[in-house]
Amino acid sequence: MMPSHIETSVMDQIIDRAVEQNPHSSGLIKAFGPIIARQRQLTSSIDLPPLDYSSVDKEKLRAGVSVISQISLFSPDDPLKEIALSLTEAVKEGMPKLTAELDRLSGLISTGKLRLADYFEAHPGNENKAIDGWENNLKISPSNASFLLSLIARVLLERRAREITEAMGEFAWEKGYCPICGEFPSIALIEEEGGKRFLHCSSCGQGWGFTRVVCPYCEKEASKEMDYFYVESKTQESAFVCDKCKKYLVTLYRAGRLHARDMDVSAISLVHLDMIMQDKGYEPMTACAWNVLS
Ligand SMILES: [Zn+2]
Ligand SMILES: [Zn+2]
């Protein structure tokens, strides 16, 4: 398994560098590091049943209908148990305080008392019913269940996003939410060269280009320079803010491509901006495990 070894070591370097450059976020980066590393490894290596993407319609995409609104991206044959048990080990590594609860959760999953498919089969729409059922019948904390489910979904969706991009080639997409899974972005990246803005989805890992002068959340036109909030002395980091919908989007400026980057690690590294913006009364465009602060 050479490839995943290489990926693991690249991931370790990314995490080490993030800790070094963002000492204020080091606790959070170290907690999420092993989880993100395991997710990337699973995304590349796990065997998933094939899905048929031939009915995904490029015209619908152009009109803003995401892939997940067109076809189901979860299969009844997805290896949910295998992914879940691997991820709970990684969560324990990063967040040892959760060990007892996660061991209980793993036990229920491996004996089949907790059927993860109940959640994914109901997705999207009725998935919270499954979580309520686990809370009532198995005394599972809904926040831990949701956390684990979002981690599993990311592995499945990121792999599907890659397959879709490969199967479909280029397609037009002009929305501020994700073309694959329909979630709003967790972070944006602006390339120094050309100044283009790329949005990143933490639910499935997809990235896409989006105009800099429109709010990705409510589509209000924003003037180019007015709507960015900077922390003094940090010119590479900012938050796009929209005064219409009161949302913000953490934004990173990239001067070069010297180092490999993981956008989720970057988003976690910039959590001080989440604190500042939420303190000012703004909300993130999407809730992530690391940016729900109050
Ligand atoms: Zn997505
Ligand atoms: Zn807005």
The DSSP bridge partners found for residue 191 are: 254
Using an 8 Å Cβ cutoff, are 208 and 198 in contact? yes
Diameter of the chain measured on Cα atoms: 56
Residues listed for the chain: 294
Q: How far, in Å, is the centroid of ligand 1 from the Cα of 189?
A: 16
**Span from the CA of 138 to the centroid of ligand 1 (angstroms):** 30
- Which pLDDT does position 128 carry in this prediction? 86
Q: Give the number of whichever ligand sits closest to the CA of residue 201.
A: 1
- Cα of 272 from ligand 2 centre, angstroms: 21
CA of 276 to the centre of ligand 1 (A): 25
Cβ partners under 8 Å of residue 68, min gap 6: 124, 157, 180, 181, 182
Ligand 2 centroid distance, CA of 158 (Å) = 26
Domain boundaries, the chain: 46-168, 187-284
Ligand nearest to the CA of 214: 2
CA distance 271 to 289: 11
Quick one: which of 40, 86, 93 has its CA closest to 260? 40
Ligand 2 centroid–CA 240 distance in Å is 10
Ligand 1 mean position, distance from CA 232 (Å): 32
| 69 alpha carbon, closest ligand | 1
Ligand nearest to the CA of 157: 1
The ligand with the least distance to the CA atom of 242 is: 2
Contact 130, 122 (CB under 8 A): yes
* Ligand 1 center–CA 136 separation, angstroms: 30
Ligand nearest to the CA of 220: 2
Going residue by residue through the chain, which has 294 residues, state the pLDDT in tens, using 9 for 90 and above: 445 555 668 899 999 999 999 999 999 999 999 999 999 999 999 999 999 999 999 999 999 999 999 999 999 999 999 999 999 999 999 999 999 999 999 999 999 999 999 999 887 777 888 999 999 999 999 999 999 999 999 999 999 999 999 999 989 999 999 999 999 999 999 988 888 999 999 999 999 999 998 999 999 987 655 588 887 777 789 999 998 999 999 999 986 666 778 999 999 999 999 999 999 999 999 999 988 866
State how beta strands 247-254 and 283-284 pair.
Answer: parallel
Q: How far is the CA of 16 from the centre of ligand 1 (A)?
A: 26
Using the mean position of ligand 1's atoms as its centre, give its distance from the Cα of residue 74 in Å. Answer: 14
Ligand positioned closest to the Cα atom of 248: 2
pTM of the model: 0.93
Q: What is the model's pLDDT at position 189?
A: 95
What distance in angstroms lies between residue 6's CA and the mean position of ligand 2's atoms? 40
What's the confidence (pLDDT) of residue 193? 82
Instruction: Check residue 151 and give its pLDDT.
Output: 97
